[in-house]
Structure 1
């Protein structure tokens, strides 16, 4: 089958670029002819205030990657669609409604000459704008099918389109941890919050829980701040946590990740809302437990009391209790012993099958 994935790929950073690239590799390995249509410039800077690209790819780039799309060139959107008319399947990777105008331009150029499956990482953003729902409706009503990563997201999609919606669990698409980095038994009295820092991820809830939780436990916060770090610094000072929180704002290069996970007893994911996250799988690759909230796919990924703990979202008291349970005598060691890296090969096989099989995602 001749397949085109439209979305971010290296040198863009982040989970979307990793997923697009890994999906292309997996489709290629399954015997399909694959190309990635990626971006020269994906978003204007005022819509994405962080660093968009990196100089060194943190994974194996896909050789069949073309970087022709530019948010400033709508004529290029139509031409890309025209060039994809000979393909059997076109897969726009939807990470934000901001992409929708470009995708509609591609669909216009495509003229329904290929089957189109919208691969939605988030059907609607965690922090929504008035234009998000109209844009997503416009896109999802023009495709032949929709693929999402959870039943919750499927319900959202079905509220926006009559097209078929299928669910496939999102497999890991991040580089595996070095063998030497996983499985250490040393206790550090330190927790880790990792990744892009946005309000829905609940860092403020974690800071309040840390202030009320076990004494002597520290926290490393590593990642880019969406919209600035001053508010977080003020909250840390207000809670008296200046000596206990190591704030490392900015994108974390892949070379620095092993030391961050190796110095932590657990990864904490205090999200208010979520769909799917690679960070659980990353923690398990590095051999550390996860403390997460009951949102999105976390309750299915984290085995409560076995390889981590699960608590209520947007509830500092519930998270405080979880931190105290985690640091009960012998618990960090017991939960670490329960961590097992996951074999994602079967998940990827299912994911690819759902994506390419017309009976799974067919035009209505």
Structure 2
């Protein structure tokens, strides 16, 4: 098939751009003729206060990538849609409702002649605004099929459209410096009494819950927080001071380049994902590829990814006591070593096969 993917790609950073690029590589590897239609200007700066682009690619860029789309040029949205009328499938990578106006412009250019699948990373944002639901409803009612990453997201999508909705687990797509699974044998033995929170810091990810649990948990354990802070550092720094954690919490604000990621995981006993809400996350797979157990809340797909008591621990969301208890259980004598020994890298080839089948099947069932 001739397949066009519309979504972010390098020089844009982050999981969405990595997913778009890896999906294109996988579809091309399966024998399809693939193109990516990406952006030269994706969002106004006020809608994304963090760093939007990077200067060096992390992973292999897809050669068939164009960067013609611009949020300031609706005429270009329509022209892009018109240029894709001869394709057998168009995939809209949906990361936020703010993309919907441009996607509706592209659909107007297509004029209904080409099957379109909305690949929704999140059907609705974790932190919602009044316009999110009507925008997503307008989009999902105009596509032929929807692909999501969890049953919970499928239920949200079915409430917005009568078109077919398929579910497929999101396979790994974040690159490592070597381009493959990270080497796991270089870490020296021993417990570091060090935890890691990794990724963009937003309210739904529950860093405040983790800080309170850390204050109530084992007294000799420290935490590194590495990632962009969506709303700035002030509130987090105030909470750290209030809890008396200044000597136990290291803040490393800003985008973390792929080359720096192994060192962060090397220094950590566990990755902690204290999310209040989630759909799918690459961070569990990333931790496992670095040989690191995961402590996470029972939201999204975490409970399916983590074998509770084998390669990590699962606790209740938005519950300081439950997370503090999990930290204490993790640091019981011998537990960090036992849980680390249970970590196994995941074979993502079957997951990618199922994912591509679900995506192309969404076209056939549309």
Considering the TM-score relative to the shorter chain, is it more than 0.5? yes
Q: Encode CA deviations 1:295-342: one digit per residue, 9 max, x unaligned.
A: 000000000000000000000000000000000000000000000000
4+ long deviations beyond 2 Å: 180-186, 360-363
Aligned residues of 2:184 and 2:291 also touching (Cα < 8 A): no
Q: CA deviation at 1:178?
A: 3.1
Distance change in 2, residues 1:329/1:124 (3 Å)? same
Aligned residues of 2:184 and 2:290 also touching (Cα < 8 A): no
SS in 2 for 1:46: helix
Q: Which residue of 1 aligns with 2:359?
A: 355
Q: Which residue of 1 aligns with 2:297?
A: 293
Q: Encode CA deviations 1:69-95: one digit per residue, 9 max, x unaligned.
A: 000001000000000000000000000
Q: Distance in 1 between matches of 2:249 and 2:325?
A: 19
Q: Which residue of 2 aligns with 1:99?
A: 99
Q: Which residue of 1 aligns with 2:40?
A: 40
Q: Distance in 2 between matches of 1:184 and 1:316?
A: 31
- 1:67 aligned onto 2:67: yes
SS in 2 for 1:142: coil
Q: Which of these residues, 260, 263, 270, is aligned with residue 256 of structure 1?
A: 260
Q: Which residue of 2 aligns with 1:155?
A: 155
Q: Which residue of 1 aligns with 2:313?
A: 309
SS in 2 for 1:87: coil
Instruction: Indicate the RMSD between aligned Cα atoms, in angstroms.
Output: 1.0
Aligned residues of 1:13 and 1:54 also touching (Cα < 8 A): yes
Q: CA deviation at 1:183?
A: 5.8
Scaled by the length of structure 1, the TM-score of the pair is 0.98
Q: Which residue of 1 aligns with 2:13?
A: 13
Q: Which of these residues, 223, 231, 234, is aligned with residue 227 of structure 1?
A: 231
Distance change in 2, residues 1:132/1:243 (3 Å)? same
Q: Which of these residues, 274, 278, 298, is aligned with residue 274 of structure 1?
A: 278
Aligned residues of 2:24 and 2:34 also touching (Cα < 8 A): yes
Q: Distance in 2 between matches of 1:347 and 1:279?
A: 16
Q: Distance in 1 between matches of 2:94 and 2:285?
A: 22
Q: Distance in 1 between matches of 2:345 and 2:28?
A: 25
Q: CA deviation at 1:180?
A: 5.0
Name whichever of 74-83 and 170-179 sits farther off. 170-179
Q: Distance in 1 between matches of 2:65 and 2:234?
A: 38
Aligned residue pairs total 362
Q: CA deviation at 1:361?
A: 5.2
Q: Which residue of 1 aligns with 2:79?
A: 79
- 1:27 aligned onto 2:45: no
1:323-342 equivalence runs, <5 A: 323-342=327-346
1:82-231 equivalence runs, <5 A: 82-175=82-175, 176-179=180-183, 184-231=188-235
Which runs of no fewer than 5 residues in structure 1 stay unpaired?
Answer: none
Which runs of no fewer than 5 residues in structure 2 stay unpaired?
Answer: none
Scaled by the length of structure 2, the TM-score of the pair is 0.97
Q: Distance in 2 between matches of 1:225 and 1:244?
A: 19
Q: Distance in 1 between matches of 2:277 and 2:185?
A: 30
Q: CA deviation at 1:291?
A: 0.0
Aligned residues of 1:146 and 1:361 also touching (Cα < 8 A): no
- 1:3 aligned onto 2:3: yes
- 1:240 aligned onto 2:267: no
